[in-house]
Amino acid sequence: MALKPQETLKEARDQLDLVMGFFARVDGKASVLLAINTGMLAVLASNAPPIRSMSLLSGLAAAFAILIIGGSLWFLYRAAFPVLSGGQPSLIFFREIANRTEARFVDDFIAQDDTARLKDLLGQVWRNSAVLKSKFDSVRSAFILMAIAIIPWVTALSIFSSQNSAIRATLLR
């Protein structure tokens, strides 16, 4: 059963709203991962002995942890700043709207028929879904790298604490 034009437009708007609602979820997860990664780096840095007194094993473990956490941070950066190209000549996509004058946008929007509006809405559903997929994929990669970084991070902290009783006392509090 085919929907009437107004029902189809409503369905397309609902679909766009649904997709847009997922952005807050992925950004929330990215914020948590950023806090964890930053905390891991802070704990590692605050417990590290001077580089000259570091053993080779602890230095390698710390360097490996820093590199993996750095990779996780890179993916979080990609999630925070996804590629936003596309949407031409959309009357919904904010970048395309901003490229017009106010009067031209208003005139173009009013002149748009239901078929063109539906195509624009569905194009935005597709484009935002592609951006969202990229963000979720980046957050997933960041999470995996953060989880992998736990092993060399704990190893480095353990070696640091075994070499320094002040660190050991701080970690055991």
Average pLDDT over residues 26-53: 95
The boundaries of the domain holding residue 24 are: 5-172
Q: How many domains does the chain divide into?
A: 1
pLDDT grade for 28, boundaries at 50, 70 and 90? very high
Global pTM value: 0.84
Q: Are 91 and 108 in contact (CB under 8 A)?
A: yes
- CA dist 164 and 160 (Å) reads 6
User: How does DSSP classify residue 81?
Assistant: S
pLDDT, tens digit (0-9, with 9 covering 90-100), for 51-100? 888 999 999 999 999 999 999 999 999 999 988 877 678 899 888 899 99
| Residue type, position 16, single letter | L
Listing DSSP states for 46-75 in one string gives HHPPPGGG--HHHHHHHHHHHHHHHHHHHH
Return the number of other C-beta atoms located less than 10 Å from residue 48's C-beta.
18
How confident is the model at residue 167, as a pLDDT? 56
Q: Are 40 and 72 in contact (CB under 8 A)?
A: no
Using an 8 Å Cβ cutoff, are 106 and 91 in contact? no
What confidence score (pLDDT) does residue 87 get? 67
125-171 per-position pLDDT tens digit: 999 999 999 999 999 999 999 999 999 999 999 999 888 765 556 55
